[in-house]
Amino acid sequence: MSKLKGLLLTEGMHGMISQVEGLAKALDIDFIHQKVELNNFSKLIPPKLTPVSNLFFKKFEIPEVDIIISCGRKSVIPSIYLKKKLKKKIINIHIQDPKVSLTNFDYVIVPEHDDLNGENVIKSKGAIHYLNTNEINKNHNYLVEKLNKEKQYLLLILGGPNKYYNFQEKNLLNIFEKIKKVITKNDLQAIIVPSMRTPKNIISLAQNFFDKTDLVISSVDKKAYLSGLSLAKYIFVTCDSTSMISEAALTGKPIYVTEIPSKRDDYRFRQFRDLFIRLNIIRIFRDNVETWKYEKLDETKKIAEKIKSKL
């Protein structure tokens, strides 16, 4: 039996791509990805005020598809437009609050902390993503030869600046200093992994700050990220990234969130962290570490199974 065909629509940001591709893989469909670009005059218009027309986004080749999975503000109107334009029955799924009537979609997937309700709304604990346990385990040995095999490891995953958090060097130095004390006190080796949003000056800062016995990955390296998740005893993630915290929760390992002063009200981020604290998945990093257990979180698989049962 041939697989269903999917079209993934995003703004091209890594976090969004991770969500749509993660769901597509979990649904076991063949898919292609299309980056959505709005026309200049429509970039400032919110989706709820934008007419459902292809005049408001740059045209792209439309393949034969059965399912559309979209994520982000810019992909809302293209998804609705294609569902209406294509004559055969198309299932469209939007990830994140579309800020338009939910009836425009067959399914809307949002985190619990968004507090969005509707008959076609499926809620996730945190962000869905593209990682799975097999992929993490498969890359276990990628960093082994660069590490001290006699030690246990602390993984620090660096996010990057956004509308809510400033990655000033003084803020990151504060985090680095606290982690340095922990790895010294507990005889650990640190693995520092950047993401696509991590500024180059912060990577350089980490390279200059940590000892040569610690391992700072100098560029985005997915295999190093997966290997670090597999090898680490403790996982630390900067507070700006709900997606990487959600990905780390797939491991079942202790996750510490390192706080950065917010530039504006970070209510949704705090709601997310409060939920994960209640689930015993994360703790806010203060000055020491300990181990605890929780049920591994694989929301992508769970949500895919719900949708599969209704397809």
Q: Please, is 16 exposed, middle or buried when counting C-beta atoms within 10 Å of its C-beta (0-12, 13-18, 19+)?
A: buried
- Residue 85: band (very low, low, confident or very high) from pLDDT cuts 50, 70, 90: confident
Residue 310 within any structural domain of the chain: no
* Same domain (yes/no): 177, 260: yes
Question: Lowest mean pLDDT: which of 60-64, 72-76, 195-199?
Answer: 60-64
Residue 296 within any structural domain of the chain: no
Mean pLDDT of 54-72: 88
Query: Which pLDDT tens digit goes with each residue over 148-168?
Result: 999 999 999 999 999 999 999
Q: Which residues of 64-74 are buried (b: 16+ CB within 10 A; e: fewer)?
A: ebbbbbbbbbb
pLDDT of residue 87: 67
Residue 71 within any structural domain of the chain: yes
Task: With a cut of 60, say whether residue 47 has pLDDT above it.
Answer: yes
Query: Which pLDDT tens digit goes with each residue over 199-222?
Result: 999 999 999 999 999 999 999 999
Task: With a cut of 70, say whether residue 9 has pLDDT above it.
Answer: yes
Query: Which pLDDT tens digit goes with each residue over 244-288?
Result: 999 999 999 999 999 999 999 999 999 999 999 999 999 999 999
| The last residue of a domain, from among 102, 124, 146 | 124
Mean pLDDT of 283-296: 95
Query: CA-CA distance, 203 to 205, in Å (whole number)?
Result: 5
- Residue 13: band (very low, low, confident or very high) from pLDDT cuts 50, 70, 90: confident
CATH number of the structural domain spanning residue 271: 3.40.50.2000
Residue 78 within any structural domain of the chain: yes
* Same domain (yes/no): 251, 144: yes
- Residue 1: band (very low, low, confident or very high) from pLDDT cuts 50, 70, 90: low
Mean pLDDT of 33-52: 81
* Same domain (yes/no): 85, 158: no
Give the range of the structural domain holding residue 98, as residue numbers without chain letter. Answer: 5-124
Residue 207 within any structural domain of the chain: yes
Mean pLDDT of the chain: 93
**Residues facing 70 on adjacent strands:** 9, 94
| The last residue of a domain, from among 74, 95, 124 | 124
pLDDT of residue 116: 92
Domain count within the chain:
2
Query: CA-CA distance, 73 to 53, in Å (whole number)?
Result: 15
* Same domain (yes/no): 106, 69: yes
Q: Please, is 184 exposed, middle or buried when counting C-beta atoms within 10 Å of its C-beta (0-12, 13-18, 19+)?
A: exposed
Query: CA-CA distance, 285 to 237, in Å (whole number)?
Result: 10
